[in-house]
Amino acid sequence: MKLLRSLADVRDFGPLVLAAGFFDGFHRGHRAVLGEARRMAERLGARPGVVTFSPHPGTVLFPDRPVCLLQTEEEKEAVMAELGMALAVILRPTKEFLAESAEDFLRSLEAVPDLRGVVCGENFTFGAGAAGTPETIRAWFAGTDTAVSVVPLTRSPAIGGRVVSSTEIRRLVEAGDMRTAGALLTRPYTLSGGVGRGFRRGTDDTGFPTANLVFGPERVLPADGVYAAFAVIRGRRWPAVTNVGTNPTYGNAARTVETFILHFSEDIYGEAFAVEFVERLRGEIRFPSAAALAAQIAEDVKRAERLLAEETEKEG
């Protein structure tokens, strides 16, 4: 997949269909938009691509209230490639860019050579004050050789028939409802980063050594608690138990994500690492001693192992 930072940089690419949106998480609704872009591209003898934005416009406009995200930019790029996109134009919104009119954005889009089609979701907005809508796009390209397709919003019985949205999934993750979040995402919610140095309490105090996940501050964190999870290391998934929070038994100042990887004893400090959250087992508890904490972790491990074995069987 070719990556560009400006619509003006799209040259010599040939016939193209572009799907437009922010696409945080690439949930079921986003996948419907990209699926329509692929179908339109095939129908029109073109290649499918994406025009998206990073960082979130809300973070640019209100830096004191940054929008926490379901994916990093690198994770978004990987999913776009996986979903068959031949091109991704990732625009960097500034306050000046966000102050431009919807017409300014459409002129830039219209100038893309051999643009055969534009696809967006029913709730896509753009331009200053979010004045641009799918109907604005339809009207702009009416009578031209550029087709426009607007994909209806996706609803899910998992959330009572409500619209699937990144905002809804962020709320579910922050509430610890990983099962429902995963159903809307079509995969487990995942945090990725590197393995950093922890407090060594798992090794020294409880006998359950943990990998301390180092991740960006812009990520959505699950509710504090203990989770059955899969740890992804060097392309392989391992059953795991992950604690999110301040570890009240020790009274940490900051929230951490610490993972005990079952049946694994290799040193992975400094390596790439990801945690796929499957189900919340319990909330965080303050224990009277390290021994009491260790006993509870042993029970958590037994429960997680059973649950993850069932999960692997379902997937297989």
Task: Just list the catalytic residues.
Answer: 258
Q: Residue written as tokens 């929070």?
A: 245
What is the bridge-based pairing of β-strands 236-245 and 256-261? antiparallel
State whether the Cα torsion 244-26-273-278 is positive or negative: positive
Write phi, then psi, for 3 (nearest 5 degrees): -110, 130
Distance CA 174, CA 224 (A): 9
What's 126's DSSP letter? B
DSSP string, 157-210: GGGTTEEP-HHHHHHHHHTT-HHHHHHHHTS-EEEEEEEE----HIIIIIS---
CA dihedral over 135, 136, 138, 142, signed as positive or negative:
positive
Cis peptide before 55 (omega within 30 of 0): yes
CB 118 within 8 A of CB 148: yes
User: Most distant CA pair in the chain: distance in Å?
Assistant: 73
